[in-house]
């Protein structure tokens, strides 16, 4: 029986997608992927690039500088043209779709070694750039109910999640991320990236830009609703939403016996992966059916899950998804989630997997099952279960 294992997982720091304040404002997604490919190959010299079976990349908005992202960033990194590259698009779960693709290719015997990750640059390729909505959608759904922030409001209203609960959840995300950074927990997974600014000055970016260790629930309570007028809003704000970001993440997945033959270590194996569809006007609940499907495929239940990485697109949807899955918040996002760390859309499926891998290698050495899951714009969810490889 062939198995897919994680040999390594790395990511860039995650920067704000802000034209004046963003630390990566002079960089584009291929720059970030090039830096990760270089670092990954350097720190795993037993893996020869000529033996790589594929480079799989998730990216939500594959236009402008993210057009042809997988192949062009591979070639632009000076890597051999014989190695194929494939881009995956499933909005926020694009990189998770890439991970499922690579793991399934390994299990099916199509290849033994895959570099798989994702990238998104929400500054130079903003959400909605170059898109034209197909008008037929309007026959079935109200187009004003489809933007992400409005789906978060709808989930909060339907499950009666109040402002206080959303702000408290988000505050904790910032506290956990700030503490994890302070304790050096991200050291092994974050690869410093050199940024050159407009005046020619250079700076090595070594940490995430968004965690706010100094925020308070009271300060967050002052923020105005971001998507609806105050009288119509349940209180979805900039404070309890994921920010806009630039970032990338990359995993090295190998067939288990190949990893053994090369003398490479690992601690997680791919157990199951699933995707599911939900009402697009409440896209945030996608983690519920996708995780349930993945657990069923794995032959386990929610009680068996020891550690969870759920992508915090919004506090409302994370709170509801965990509640409906019957997974306590204490098991989730131990080093902070996307509200604090950031959510570069197409990279996030890989970013949360990289962090899950790090957590299960260090803080949660006894955990047997880890779940990584995300909600997906236009009403889907994706989930992966990783099992400790004994
Ligand atoms: C919500 C959203 C519209 C806010 O955009 P924005 O106003 O540009 O938000 P910012 O993150 O720049 O925050 C604005 C200000 O709010 C304040 N603020 C935000 N979070 C805060 C916090 N936790 N504590 C205190 N102040 C905070 C700050 O003053 C901040 O400005 P500054 O940091 O430059 O001083 C945007 O982040 C967004 O669209 N998020 C969702 C993205 C999305 O849909 N992703 C896909 C999900 S499926």
pLDDT tens column, 22-60: 999 999 999 999 999 999 999 999 999 999 999 999 999
> Whole-angstrom Cα distance, residue 126 to residue 138?
23
CA-243 nearest atom, ligand 1: 37
* Cα separation, 196 vs 308, whole angstroms: 36
Residues with beta carbon inside 6 Å of ligand 1? 92, 148-149, 174, 212, 215, 219-220, 223, 226, 238-239, 241-244, 313, 343, 377
Minimum CA distance residue for ligand 1 atom 40? 243
Q: What is the mean pLDDT of residues 128-134?
A: 87
- Looking at the CA of residue 339, tell me the nearest atom of ligand 1: 23
Catalytic residue among 92, 100, 124, 210: 92
Which residue in the block uniquely carries the two structure tokens 């130079």?
Answer: 124
Domain ranges of the chain: 4-123+243-388
Split at pLDDT 50, 70, 90, the class of 130 is confident
Residues 341-361: what's their mean pLDDT? 99
Mean pLDDT, the chain, rounded, equals: 98
- Looking at the chain, the number of H-run helices and the number of E-run strands are 12, 12
The residue whose two tokens read 């270590």 is 265
* Angle, in degrees to the nearest 10, between helices 315-325 and 287-298: 40
Contacts of 236 (CB under 8 A, 6+ apart): 149, 152, 153, 156, 166, 225, 226, 227, 228, 314, 315, 316
- Ligand 1 centre to CA of 245 (Å) is 11
Global pTM? 0.98
Q: Please report the pLDDT score of residue 133 as a whole number.
A: 84
Pick the CATH number of 4-123+243-388 from 3.30.420.40, 3.40.605.10, 3.40.1390.10, 3.40.47.10: 3.40.47.10
């Amino acid at each position: 029986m062939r198995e897919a294992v994680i040999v390594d997982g790395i990511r860039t720091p995650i920067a704000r997608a802000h034209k004046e304040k963003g630390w990566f404002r002079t960089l584009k997604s291929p720059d970030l992927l090039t830096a990760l490919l270089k670092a990954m190959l350097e720190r795993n010299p037993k893996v020869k690039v000529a033996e790589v079976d594929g480079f799989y990349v998730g990216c939500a908005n594959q236009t402008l500088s993210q057009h042809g992202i997988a192949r062009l960033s591979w070639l632009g990194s000076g890597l051999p043209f014989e190695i194929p590259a494939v881009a995956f698009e499933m909005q926020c779960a694009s990189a998770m779709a890439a991970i499922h693709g690579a793991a399934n290719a390994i299990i099916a015997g199509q290849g033994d070694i895959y570099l798989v990750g994702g990238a998104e640059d929400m500054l130079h390729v903003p959400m909605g750039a170059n898109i034209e909505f197909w008008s037929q959608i309007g026959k079935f759904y109200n187009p004003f109910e489809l933007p992400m922030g409005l789906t978060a409001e709808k989930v909060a209203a339907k499950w009666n999640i109040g402002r206080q609960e959303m702000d408290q959840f988000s505050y904790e995300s910032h506290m956990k991320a700030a503490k994890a950074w302070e304790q050096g927990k991200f050291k092994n997974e974050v690869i410093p990236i050199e940024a050159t600014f407009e005046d020619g000055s250079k700076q090595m970016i070594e940490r995430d830009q968004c965690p706010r260790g100094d925020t308070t629930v009271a300060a967050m309570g002052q923020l105005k609703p971001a998507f609806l007028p105050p009288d119509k809003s349940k209180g979805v704000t900039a404070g309890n939403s994921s920010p806009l970001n630039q970032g990338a993440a990359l995993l090295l997945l190998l067939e288990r016996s190949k990893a053994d033959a090369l003398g490479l270590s690992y601690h997680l194996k791919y157990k199951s992966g699933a995707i599911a569809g939900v009402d697009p006007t409440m896209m945030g609940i996608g983690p519920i059916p996708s995780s349930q499907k993945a657990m069923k495929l794995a032959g386990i239940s929610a009680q068996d899950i020891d550690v969870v990485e759920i992508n915090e697109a919004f506090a409302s949807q994370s709170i509801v998804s965990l509640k409906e899955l019957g997974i306590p918040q204490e098991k989730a996002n131990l080093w902070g989630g996307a509200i604090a760390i950031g959510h570069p859309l197409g990279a996030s499926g890989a970013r949360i997997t990289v962090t899950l891998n790090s957590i299960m290698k260090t803080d949660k050495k006894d955990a047997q099952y880890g779940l990584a899951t995300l909600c997906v714009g236009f009403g889907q969810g994706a989930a992966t279960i990783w099992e400790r490889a004994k």
